[in-house]
Amino acid sequence: MENYNPEKEEKVKKTLQTAKGMIVRVFGIIMILLLSFDSYYNIEEQEQAVLTTFGVATAVTEPGLHFKIPFIQKVQKVNTTIQGFALGYDQSDNESREEDSLMITSDYNFVNVDFFIEYKVADPVKAVYASKDPVLILQNISKSCVRTVIGSCDVDSVLTTGKNEIQSSIRDMIIKKLEDHDVGLQVTNVTIQDSEPPTAEVMEAFKAVETAKQGKETAINNANKYRNEKLPGAKAQIDKIMQEAEAQKTRRINEANGEVAKFNAMYEEYRKNPQVTKQRMFYEAMEDVLPRLKVIIDGTGQTSTILPLDSFTASNAVNNSEGMQGAERSDFGISPETPQNNRQSSSEAASVIGDNPSSQVTEQENREEDSLSDNNQG
């Protein structure tokens, strides 16, 4: 039987205590190292992070170095760059997948249409925790919207002229449905990569239609060019005609106003002295009809009419001029007179009416006053 040795037992106890201390120290160091490595995290420039505490999202951190509580807080990183996926073809080899690309239009034609959908994360918390696979939800929504819009358009719009409108309509529809699902994603762009008929024969027919449309556009552009060249000249001609018409209208209005003013003035004179005005108008009318006819009024109240003979100076037309003078005098009731008698009558005349019409009125008024005074004396 081994003897009890207190010293040896004490030595063993010290050895065990030392080992325990070493183990505790090592464990502490390991824990410190683990905690130090798990207490901070780094977010890249094109990322955001969702920080959760006991599984509940508490914050969204921006790019940079951040700290967290180890084992209590966790970080879920999210890519915030614009991403995308293809519909109707495989991005790896660009091969068409008819199960996604083959569609029917509103006029019951088949077309192959390839799309590329671009999106980004708008809400990191919802993108991480609102659904298990938000991108898959977006893909299903995009397929549904694409088929709905293509089915409402005719084949001509899908293949040629309506691509921009189709892309815009699909984008708006996807955005609206994403708002209803609220998965934290946002569509930024929808692009038609390719659209073509399913068979070669149909493709050739559509190419011919497209060529005809281009010819139509060319003809329209040429017609517009011709119109633009001719239109300024036509407008200038219209402006010229309008200006001339306005000038003529103004001139005629002014003439009419002048005639009205003249008539009104004459009417006022007629109201004052009807008989004198009638005689004056008669003499003025005779001046207009026979502008070179001279009517002489002598002191006895009798008149003599002398036709102009100055223009009849040609020697070979003396007989003809005398015959014409006799005829004119007989027409106006004027007896033939010699040039000497004419000069004598002119020297005795009180005034010459043809030269001064106002003197006719004055002489007539004088005769009327003399006649009235003679009657009063009688």
Average pLDDT, 10 consecutive residues per value, the chain (378 residues):
61 73 73 64 85 83 80 84 91 83 86 93 89 92 94 88 92 93 92 83 72 88 91 91 93 92 86 84 79 58 49 44 44 42 39 42 49 45
Of 249, 272, 295, the residue that ends a domain is: 272
- Statement to judge: residues 87 and 186 lie in one domain: yes
∠ CA(189), CA(81), CA(140), 5° rounding? Answer: 50
246 is a domain residue: yes
- Statement to judge: residues 90 and 189 lie in one domain: yes
Distance spanning both ends of the chain, measured CA to CA:
209
Q: How confident is the model at residue 314, as a pLDDT?
A: 42
Q: How confident is the model at residue 296, as a pLDDT?
A: 58
pTM attached to this predicted model: 0.46
- Statement to judge: residues 67 and 86 lie in one domain: no
Alpha helices in the chain (DSSP H): 6-38, 98-101, 124-129, 134-151, 155-156, 163-181, 200-272, 274-289, 318-332, 339-348, 357-377
17 is a domain residue: no
- Statement to judge: residues 54 and 34 lie in one domain: yes
- Statement to judge: residues 170 and 240 lie in one domain: no
- Statement to judge: residues 251 and 355 lie in one domain: no
Of 78, 96, 115, the residue that ends a domain is: 78
Q: What is the pLDDT of residues 41-83, one digit of tens each?
A: 788 888 888 888 887 888 888 888 877 777 787 888 888 899 9
288 is a domain residue: yes
181 is a domain residue: yes
Q: What is the pLDDT of residues 258-276, one digit of tens each?
A: 999 988 888 888 888 888 8
Q: Total domain count for the chain?
A: 4
226 is a domain residue: yes
Q: What is the CATH number of the domain that holds 184?
A: 3.30.479.30
- Statement to judge: residues 63 and 115 lie in one domain: no
Domain interval for residue 338: 274-377
- Statement to judge: residues 311 and 367 lie in one domain: yes
Q: How confident is the model at residue 114, as a pLDDT?
A: 93
- Statement to judge: residues 86 and 190 lie in one domain: yes
- Statement to judge: residues 309 and 224 lie in one domain: no
Long-range contact list for 165-169, CB < 8 A, 24+ apart?
166/192, 167/191, 167/192
